[in-house]
Amino acid sequence: MPGVQRAYFCTPMEPGALRAAAAFATVAAEHHLESVVAMSQWLASPHHRSLHTRETWLGDQLLARLPGTAVTTLNPGFFADNDMAGLPFAAQYGLLMLPYGAGRNAPPSNEDMARVAAEILARPAGHAEQTYRPTGPALLSPQDIAGILARVLGHRVAYVDVPFPIFARVARGVGLSDFVIAQYEQYVQDYQRDAFALGAPTDVVQRITGRAPEDFETIARRYVASVPEGTRRPATQLRLLGKLTAWMLRPAPRTRPHLALGDVLDPDRLGLSAHSPDWQRSHTSATALLASGAAD
């Protein structure tokens, strides 16, 4: 970081998030960074069952204590990118197979998230010690998402609420690690309980970037145009069916070892954010504060 004044911190959802935060914070302090934008997550909590979420929360605390550095935290829910895991099956078979139950979300695009971070880094004044939750423009159910995909693809798409063990086999088949799948399983349970619907949508993207957030149809059209599986073809259907059959014959991943539940003194205190009164209170208060700030 010699010569660097501002930086964006974002760790992948793989083992080592806390080590990465500690290394980043140490070097940022040594070089007296002027400002940092840090990617956190909506569920961040010291008592979540997801190891990655607990470590993200701890990383947030480290970065918030950087001496003399203006730190801004981005606190998003589920990205639209996550919904695109079901795009090949929606395009080829007309089935959006995801384990969301009846949960709702206002999914932001990767591009909008990048625009928010870039704007804050370019003009950090007024953003120090602020936490922002960028979202898409509308709260969507899984059925809403399927309907939008149907419009984009030009044929009917039905939402199928897939049991997580089946989804996990597909996720492993497309290359996700067992660690990621273990964390995702916890997030899906929060999704089903409407944790991502709390306080959504927000006007953060509009207020910070000066442009409206991308709607889900715009995002979906970009994805469909960028992947071969976005166009329905018999050969693609056969190939995907063969892969799906092979994935289903494999055992489901063992997720519990990747949650590191033994790292905490009282594992019984761990749970979902949707079930946590402390999380509900703090996030409801933060949402109300943001709303009043927007009104002012």
Residue 275 lies in a domain: yes
- The tens digit of pLDDT for each residue in 221-239 reads 999 999 999 999 999 999 9
Dig out the tokens for 111 from the structure. Answer: 């591009």
Residue 289 lies in a domain: no
Please determine, for residue 94, whether its predicted confidence score (pLDDT) is greater than 90.
yes
Using only C-alpha atoms, the chain has a radius of gyration, in whole angstroms, of: 20
Please determine, for residue 292, whether its predicted confidence score (pLDDT) is greater than 50.
no
Mean pLDDT for 132-148 is 98
Residue 11 lies in a domain: yes
User: Which band of pLDDT confidence, cut at 50, 70 and 90, is reported for residue 151?
Assistant: very high
Residue 92 lies in a domain: yes
Mean pLDDT for 42-54 is 95
Nearest-angstrom CA–CA distance, 37 and 28: 12
The residue behind tokens 């289903």 is 248
Please determine, for residue 128, whether its predicted confidence score (pLDDT) is greater than 70.
yes
Residue 229 lies in a domain: yes
Nearest-angstrom CA–CA distance, 124 and 117: 10
pLDDT for position 198: 94
User: Which band of pLDDT confidence, cut at 50, 70 and 90, is reported for residue 281?
Assistant: confident
- The tens digit of pLDDT for each residue in 53-87 reads 999 999 999 999 999 999 999 999 999 999 998 99
- Give pTM, 2 decimals: 0.92
Beta bridge partners of 240: none
Name the domain count of the chain: 1
CATH number at residue 202: 3.40.50.720
Nearest-angstrom CA–CA distance, 181 and 253: 8
* Residue 116 CB burial class (10 angstroms; 0-12, 13-18, ≥19): buried
> Domain limits at 35?
6-280
Residue 213 lies in a domain: yes
